[in-house]
Amino acid sequence: MHANDCNIVYNSTEIGLPNNPNLMFPIQRIYNNGPEDSFKLLGVYFDEFLSFDKHISHLCSKISKSLYCINRIKNFLDLDSLKKLYFAMVHSHIAYCINIYGCATQTNMLKIILKQKQAIRTICKANYRDHTAPLF
């Protein structure tokens, strides 16, 4: 029996109910040079080596969109309101499934840290090159 002969199926039918073929999906083998390089489960992208490259790039994209919105209204809100927006639009994405970042590479973690520093500078209305240690 080869590894290619094994068929793995994700069944999302509730426990105790009869199997519904419409709720059963085959899972292909995930590998970096294959047709699918990752799959999404509960909002987290998993890849072959659990490096979370795609998940973190998707996370940075979400944070960038949120920072654009915060940057557009930063001159109309006070600091307390900007902090609330940060926690709602940025921090919630970073904190979701935070335990998976233990497997992430240092380079990927640096991407998230840089986005967080960008958010801190935006909220504090600081220059884009200001040091962030006193702002935290």
Over the stretch 79-109, which tens digit does the pLDDT of each residue have?
999 999 999 999 999 999 888 888 888 998 9
Q: How far apart are CA 31 and CA 44, in angstroms?
A: 16
Q: Examine residue 35 and state whether it is found in any structural domain, yes or no.
A: yes
pTM of the model: 0.72
Q: How far apart are CA 20 and CA 69, in angstroms?
A: 42
Q: Taking Cα atoms as reference points, which of 132, 98, 134 lies closest to residue 116?
A: 132
User: Looking at residue 78, what is its pLDDT?
Assistant: 92
Q: Examine residue 133 and state whether it is found in any structural domain, yes or no.
A: no
Percentage of the chain beyond pLDDT 70 is 88
CB within 8 A of 29, min separation 6: which ones?
3, 4
| Domains held by the chain: number | 1
Residue-number span of the structural domain to which 86 is assigned: 3-123
